[in-house]
Structure 1
Amino acid sequence: MPNVSKCQSLYSALVSRFQSENPSLVLSDTISSWLYQSIYSIYETSGEEEAERYVREAHMV
């Protein structure tokens, strides 16, 4: 089971990075939830290292 606190921390880091790249970025509740669930799912299936890599390498399209 993923560490919820770690997933929240990774989610916050990702949103922070996206907002620093695009200061006018506003994420809808749906997108925010999707991002968090993506991190949680990766953590659950592939482990903490993969979730951290996802956060480091994710790009806005």
Structure 2
Amino acid sequence: FIKTKTPVPVGTEVDLRFTVIMNDIETIEGVGVVVRVETDPPGMGVVFKELSGYSQDLINKLLTRGK
């Protein structure tokens, strides 16, 4: 979910670039698609469409961490 006062319409492709803290600060980059728009809190739900191999590995590590 991306908090924003100016969400784009459902179906819009968006370029993604954000940081996560793991053992170090890492950057995840890719393309997503807006799947929902909310007003409270304002923002939009985005699903990943394309990720670099490195970014996909980071997401997988985040999802399996703590299991």
* Class of the TM-score when normalised by the shorter of the 2 chains: under 0.3
Whose helix proportion is higher, 1 or 2? 1
Whose strand proportion is higher, 1 or 2? 2
